[in-house]
Structure 1
C-alpha cells in the first residue's frame, strides 16, 4: 500500500522530542569474591602493618614419676610477620559545563564517576591480591612505591605444585614476602585437592573454601567424586515440575571436610586456593574516598584513592594448588 499524496510524516516534522531512556546500562563484573569472602579492617595505623603467629609444639611422651622435680625449657617466641600498605587511585576531570547541563541516566556526572571509579579501584585491589604474583615491597626514596604481597606470595606451608615449581613465603630476614616459582602446567585434578586438604589437616588447619578461576570451575565440577548428574523432579509433581540436570558442583566433601567452591574471574588461571576466610583480612590505613583537587580552570578534578594491605593472619591456615590448567 502506498502513502497518500500530501501526507506529512515524521520524516518531514521538525522539533520532534527525543525518546531517550533515562538510565545507563553497564555490563561488567563488579563483584570482588575474595574481598567479600574475607572482610575488611580499619585498625591499620602504619604503612607496614604487623602481627604475630604461633603454633603448638609437637606432642610427645609425657609421663613423670611421683615427687618429680620440675625442669624447664625456654618457650618458643611468637613469629612476627607483616605486609606493606599499597596506595591505589583513580582520577577524573569533568568540565563545569558537563556538570551543569541536563543529562540522561544521572544528574551529576561527578557523582556517577566517583561511584564507578570506586568500583574499579576495588577490582584493582582484587587483581593485586589474587590476580598476580606480587611480592611485598617497602619502597625506597628512589622508588617510593609500596606493594602489598599477594596471597600467592604468602602460601607456603600447604602446597601442591607442578614440576620445577617452588614455594615463596614470608622472609623473616627481609620482612617481605617472596614470589613462588611457577612450575610445569598440569591438568587440575581431584587428587591435588585431597593432597592439600590432608596437609592442612595435619597442621591443624581447616580451610572451608576452594577458590579458583572461572576456567577451572568446569573441571572441578567434573571431578569423579561426583556420582549423580541428574536430580529427579519432586515426588509430588506439580503440573510444571521438571527434572534437573546437575552440571556443576558448589560443595566438595573430602576426607578432611567440606569445601565451598567459589569462581573468581580476577584470580590467576593457574592457581587454586584452599582458604579459611577467618584467617585473611583486607586492612585499610585509608578507606576508599573521593577528594577534590585544586581547581585550575573551568573543570572539576577529583582523586579517588585508598591505602590498603592484605593481612594473612596465619598462612598455614590455607593452601595452594599451583600450575594447573583446565582438563
Structure 2
C-alpha cells in the first residue's frame, strides 16, 4: 500500500547523516610461502657471488700393489652470482586529507606505509616464482627460481631448461614445453631425480589448482587408503577430500598451495620442489621507508623501498615440474 500524501520521506530529507563504518575490510591474502620458508641474509654489493662444489661420482677404485702414484687434476668449484633487484612502492596524500577525519584512516600515511610494505613482500614472492632471467645494469633483476633449475626437472615435450651461464654470469630463462596434467608419475620422477642428486625435498609449492589435482592422487591404486580420525564422537559425518603430505619412495614432502603462483598462467605452470637449506634471500637494503623524500608542495609523499636478491646455493637441491596445467584442466 502506498504512503499517505505529503509523507516526508528519506528521499526528500537533506539533513540525514551518512553512515560509513570505520572498519575497512581487506580480503587480499598476505601469505608468501617460499619467501617465508627460506633463510634471510645480507649482502653488501649489487652482485653477491658464491661457489658450489660436489663429490666425484662413485666408481671402481682398484690399484696394484706397489703402484706409483698418479695425481689427478683438481676440479675448481663453480662460481655463481645473482643481481639485486630494487622494489619500490609510493604514495602522495594532500596535507588536508592527512588531517581530516576519515573512516578507517586508509588514506593516511601510517596505513599506506603498512600496506605498501606488505605489497613489496608479495612482489618478492612473485619475483621468486616468476620466469625472468637475471639482468645486470642500472635496471637490475634477479634470476627467478625457475631460471636456475636444470638438474631435477620434468618438462613437457619441446621444453628446454634454463640455468646459470658461466660465460655471461647470468641465468637463462627456460623454454616452455607442451602443457600437461600434473600426475603422480611426474611427482615421483622429480623426487627420484632429486634423491639421486642429493636433494632433500621438504616442500612443493604449487598453484591452488595444482594442489586440487594433487588431492586426487588419493584415488590412485598404488596409494594406501586414506584414514581419518573421527573426533566428534561419531555424531558427525565428514567428507574428507584433502591431503597435505606426500610420502613416496624418495621422501616426504608437504604440498603448499601458493596464491602468488596463480597470478599469471606463466607462474602457475610450475611446481617447485624445495630443499629450503639450498635457498636464501639476501637483502642489500631491507624493506624500509625512505625518509629523505623531499617535500615540494602541500602534500605528504611516501616511499617504501627494498633491494635484494635470491641466492640459490646449489640448484641440485631444488626441482621443478614444469609445463603443468596450472589454472584449470586446460591451461
Q: TM-score, normalised by structure 1?
A: 0.89
- 2:132 equivalent in structure 1: 134
Q: For structure 2, which runs of at least 5 residues remain unmatched after alignment?
A: 262-266
CA offset digits 1:14-61 (Å, max 9, x no partner): 86665543221101011111101113212x010001111111111122
Hey, what's the Cα distance between the residues in 2 that align with 1:232 and 1:78? 51
The whole-number CA distance in structure 1 between the counterparts of 2:254 and 2:68 is: 51
The yes-or-no answer on 1:182 pairing with 2:176 is yes
Partner of 2:244: 250
- Of 80-89 and 223-232, deviating more is 223-232
Kept in 2: contact 1:229–1:247 (CA 8 A)? no
Task: Name the residue aligned to 2:34.
Answer: 34
Question: What whole-Å deviation, never above 9, does each CA across 1:276-327 have from its counterpart, x for those lacking one?
Answer: 0111111110011112411111001111111010111111001111111155
Indicate conservation of the 8 Å contact 2:134/2:172, yes or no.
Answer: yes
> In structure 1, what is the Cα distance between the partners aligned to 2:54 and 2:184?
29
Q: Could you list the runs of 5+ residues in structure 1 that have no partner in the other structure? A: none
Cα distance in 1 for partners of 2:106, 2:146 equals 43
Aligned 1:248-327 pairs, distance under 5 A:
248-267=242-261, 268-292=267-291, 293-325=293-325, 327=329
SS in 1 for 2:191: helix
Q: Residues 95-134 of structure 1: matches in 2 within 5 Å? A: 95-106=94-105, 109-130=108-129, 132-134=130-132
For 1:163-208, what per-residue CA distance to the aligned partner results, in whole angstroms no more than 9, with x for missing partners?
A: 1000010000000000000001111111011111111111111111
Written as runs of structure 1 = structure 2, the 5 A alignment for 1:218-233 is 218-223=212-217, 224=220, 225-228=222-225, 231=228, 233=230
User: Which residue number corresponds to residue 21 of structure 1?
Assistant: 21
Displacement of 1:252: 0.4
Measure, in 2, the Cα distance between the counterparts of 1:7 and 1:163. 75
CA contact (8 A) 2:162 2:171 kept: yes
- SS state of the match for residue 303, structure 2? strand
Deviation at 1:6, TM superposition (A): 11
Q: CA deviation at 1:154?
A: 0.4
- 1:215 and 1:63 map into 2 onto residues whose CA distance is 53
Structure 1 position 123, deviation (Å):
1.4
Check the 8 A contact 1:232/1:244 in 2, yes or no: no
> How far 1:8 moved relative to its partner?
9.1
Contact 2:38–2:281 (8 Å) recurs in 1: yes
1:286 touches 1:306 (CA, 8 Å); kept in 2? yes
Alignment RMSD (CA, Å): 2.6
Asked if the contact 2:106–2:112 (Cα under 8 Å) also holds between the matched residues in 1, the reply is no
Conserved 8 A contact 2:24-2:106: no
Q: Is structure 2 residue 206 aligned with structure 1 residue 215?
A: no
SS of equivalent residue, structure 1 residue 222: helix
Range that drifts further, 17-26 or 186-195: 17-26
- State whether structure 2 residue 77 is matched by structure 1 residue 78: yes
| Secondary structure, counterpart of 2:104 in structure 1 | coil
C-alpha contact (below 8 Å) 2:290/2:302 kept by paired residues: yes
Aligned residues: 318
